[in-house]
């Protein structure tokens, strides 16, 4: 219960609509968590995994039709369609409320309605924001407990009078025809029905901390971004922080938990966040970042001692696994795990690796775990002001075209690089995997307003922040003719980050190209790495002609934004395309 009238009236109103059997106000305590887990073990929502090797770890199996975000059922319901922009699906608020309320009608009959007050960001931070999610899913409550600062402390801030985002969720009947993920940015309201999966159901995450928050951030002068935050400590003991926006399942969690290679003794990595960053301008004119989350909802497949030992060690206790396979002795199993043999697949069907044609774990299977269990967890994740950001990285999965790394020539050029990003689609959202699509700033599924306005707002940070971060673009996923990745990735990515940090301090050798500065030969340290000059050449190659075509495609893409497209961004694009074209002409004359 609460002393906040607006909150108690909203809960009453929702209860009248959804008609639950009980209403439970979550306090966020351990006892409550344990009771929820016990209930879910009893009714088959969770299975207990091996108690010795994976203590307090549980498996949840989603409905097979409900294993990823559903972008075609996700809407921004702003008053004005143009405010949502061509980057979002849009519905009028009136129609949206009508449609979704019909699905909520009686949806919680016989179930418990949980009220989850939560805080996104360090509980003491003035940059944190409050929310309340109402749900009928105990799985959602358990996940929100791990992913956010949930319960009493959050409610205290709400009762002290702070505004909060309202999120209404019901699992519904899980039929994709009855599934809708709706955002009402002007009302700071989310309504989600018909899915129990991650980003559709844990409303604090993508719905609040990105879609609603991006809109709110523009009103208030800050940025809500799909970025990891990580501290890189050099052997002299100096830690610099970077933020990186890669699309879903393109390496944020891995980079955030990186383990330095052997050739980098004395280097340390400190994880502040692995998925979302809220950035604000500090008094010193730099950008500072907080991680609004308290846990990780990470991709399981591919996680092992070699690729991401920190994550691998983190998820051996107190972890909820969603849609992984299991071994004979009830250990979780996934593709890329080096030990054990799956006997049951993610849907609970018998599995034999010798004859199987499909993976045992779902490609988008996930772990939910508290950030504090991460061996590289940074205490700064609790700092109310956050951490100062030296560099921003954009990146994606590009089998060709994009070099390992290049640096923007200015803030405006950096915004163009972010706005022109594209990446191969992954299993994190429903639909065909592998197609290259435009994903500006890795925010295509998450920007709560018109991209044209968003880019304009990004450009404005050139004057809002006196010392903005340097901007880079990286690509760990460039492939050779044999279809294999050219770059070893994972821990070795530190070599690339080191060059970027050198650039931030005014050294680090670079060659200027029309698309930006690329590392000069020998500028990325390769000691202890078995990679030849020819491969490095391929990794860093800039094909002017191919890039010219890319910028032509970007022009077409930008054109969709009509008069909302900032002129400055188009000018910047013309400048780069012009330089590439000149280079192309020269090449053809020679
Ligand atoms: P979301 O949680 O969906 O936002 O994803 P994310 O960006 O955090 O991606 P994550 O770090 O979980 O990585 C997704 C997949 O990419 C995993 O299967 C990783 O093993 C793989 N991956 C991550 N970093 C690298 C890399 O440097 N090289 C290669 N080849 N694969 C990588
Ligand atoms: C992503 O898809 O970017 C994720 C998982 O981080 S979800 O919470 O489903 O959005
Ligand atoms: Mn993500």
From CA 289, how far away is CA 229, in angstroms rounded? 8
Write out pLDDT tens, residues 211-255: 999 999 999 999 999 999 999 999 999 999 999 999 999 999 999
Nearest listed ligand to the Cα of residue 225: 3
Residue 1: predicted pLDDT? 86
DSSP for 302-345, please give it.
T-SHHHHHHHHHHTTSS-EEES-EEETTS-EE-TT--S--EEE-
Outline which parts of the chain fall under CATH 3.90.228.20.
225-266+275-287+384-542
Residue 174 φ/ψ region, left for φ over 0, alpha for ψ in the -120 to 50 degree band, beta for the rest: left
* Length of the chain, in residues: 590
Coil, strand or helix at 428: coil
Atom of ligand 2 nearest to the CA of 428: 2
CA–CA distances in Å: residue 41 to residues 20, 141, 173, 205, 332: 21, 14, 21, 25, 16
Write out pLDDT tens, residues 6-20: 999 999 999 999 999
Residue 585: predicted pLDDT? 65
Residue 161: predicted pLDDT? 97
CA–CA distances in Å: residue 242 to residues 83, 88, 234, 307, 474: 31, 28, 13, 20, 13
The single residue listed with the structure tokens 């989350």 is 293
Q: What is the mean pLDDT of residues 42-71?
A: 97
Task: Name the residues annotated as catalytic.
Answer: 250
Q: What secondary structure, in 3-state letters, does 432-458 show? A: CCCCEEECHHHCCCCCCCCHHHHHHHH
Q: What CATH number does the domain located at 5-45+65-221 have?
A: 3.40.449.10
Atom of ligand 2 nearest to the CA of 226: 3
Coil, strand or helix at 47: strand
Q: How confident is the model at residue 583 (pLDDT cuts 50, 70, 90)?
A: low
Cβ contact 7:164 at 8 Å: yes
Q: How far is the CA of 46 from the centre of ligand 2 (A)?
A: 21
Residues near ligand 3 ion, CB 5 Å cutoff: 248, 275
Q: What is the mean pLDDT of residues 303-318?
A: 97
* Residue nearest (by alpha carbon) to ligand 2 atom 4: 248
Q: How far is the CA of 2 from the centre of ligand 2 (A)?
A: 31
Residue 588: predicted pLDDT? 57
Outline which parts of the chain fall under CATH 3.40.449.10.
5-45+65-221
Fold of 225-266+275-287+384-542: Phosphoenolpyruvate Carboxykinase; domain 3 (3.90.228)
Write out pLDDT tens, residues 343-352: 999 999 999 9
**Which of 253, 297, 443, 447 has the most ligand 2 atoms within 8 A of CB, as the residue to mutate?**
297
């Amino acid at each position: 219960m609460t002393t906040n009238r607006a909150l108690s009236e909203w809960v009453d109103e929702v209860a009248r609509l959804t008609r639950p059997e009980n209403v439970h106000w979550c306090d966020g305590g351990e006892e409550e968590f344990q009771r929820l887990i016990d209930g879910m073990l009893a009714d088959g929502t969770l299975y207990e995994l091996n108690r010795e090797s994976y203590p307090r770890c549980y498996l949840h199996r989603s409905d097979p039709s409900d294993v990823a975000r559903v972008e075609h059922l996700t809407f921004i319901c702003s008053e004005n369609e143009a405010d949502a922009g061509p980057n979002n699906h849009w519905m009028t608020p009136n129609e949206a409320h009508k449609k979704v309320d019909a699905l909520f009608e009686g949806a919680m009959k016989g179930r418990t309605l949980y009220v989850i007050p939560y805080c996104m960001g360090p509980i003491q931070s003035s940059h944190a924001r409050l929310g309340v999610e109402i749900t009928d899913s105990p799985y959602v409550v358990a996940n929100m407990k791990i992913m956010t600062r949930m319960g009493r402390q959050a409610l205290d801030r709400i009762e002290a009078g702070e505004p909060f985002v309202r999120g209404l969720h019901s699992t519904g009947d899980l039929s994709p025809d009855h599934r809708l993920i709706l955002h009402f940015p002007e009302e700071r309201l989310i309504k989600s029905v018909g899915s129990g999966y991650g980003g559709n159901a844990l409303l604090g995450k993508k719905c609040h901390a990105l879609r609603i928050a991006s809109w709110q951030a523009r009103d208030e002068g800050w940025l809500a971004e799909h970025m990891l935050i990580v501290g890189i400590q050099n052997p002299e003991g100096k830690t610099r922080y970077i933020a990186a926006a890669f699309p879903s399942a393109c390496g944020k969690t891995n980079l955030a938990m990186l383990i330095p290679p052997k050739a980098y003794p004395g280097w340390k990595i400190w994880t502040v966040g692995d998925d979302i960053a809220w950035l604000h301008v500090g008094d010193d004119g730099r950008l500072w970042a907080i991680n609004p989350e308290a846990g990780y909802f990470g991709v399981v497949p591919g996680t092992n001692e070699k690729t991401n030992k920190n994550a691998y060690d983190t998820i051996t206790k107190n972890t909820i696994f969603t849609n992984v396979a299991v071994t004979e002795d009830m250990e979780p199993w996934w593709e890329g795990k080096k030990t054990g043999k799956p006997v049951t697949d993610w849907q609970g069907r018998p599995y034999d690796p010798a004859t199987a044609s499909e993976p045992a774990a779902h490609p988008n299977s996930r772990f939910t775990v508290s950030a504090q269990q991460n061996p590289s967890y940074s205490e700064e994740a609790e700092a109310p002001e956050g951490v100062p950001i030296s560099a921003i990285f954009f990146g994606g999965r590009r089998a060709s075209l994009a070099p390992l790394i290049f640096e923007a020539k200015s803030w405006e050029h950096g915004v163009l690089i972010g706005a022109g990003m594209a990446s191969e689609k992954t299993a994190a959202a429903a639909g065909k995997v592998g197609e290259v699509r435009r994903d500006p700033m890795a925010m295509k599924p998450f920007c709560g307003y018109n991209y044209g306005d968003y880019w304009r707002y990004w450009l404005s940070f050139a004057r809002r922040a006196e010392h903005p971060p340097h901007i880079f673009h990286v690509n760990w996923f460039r492939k050779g003719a044999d279809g294999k990745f050219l770059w070893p990735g994972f821990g070795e990515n530190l070599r690339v980050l080191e060059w970027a940090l050198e650039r931030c301090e005014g050294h680090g050798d670079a060659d200027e190209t029309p698309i930006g500065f690329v590392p000069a030969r020998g500028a990325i340290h390769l000691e202890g790495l078995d990679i030849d000059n020819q491969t490095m050449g391929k990794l860093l190659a800039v094909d002017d002609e191919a890039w010219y075509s890319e910028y032509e495609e970007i022009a077409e893409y930008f054109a969709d934004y009509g008069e909302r497209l900032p002129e400055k961004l188009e000018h910047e694009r013309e400048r780069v395309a012009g330089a590439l074209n000149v280079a192309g002409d020269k090449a053809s004359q020679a």
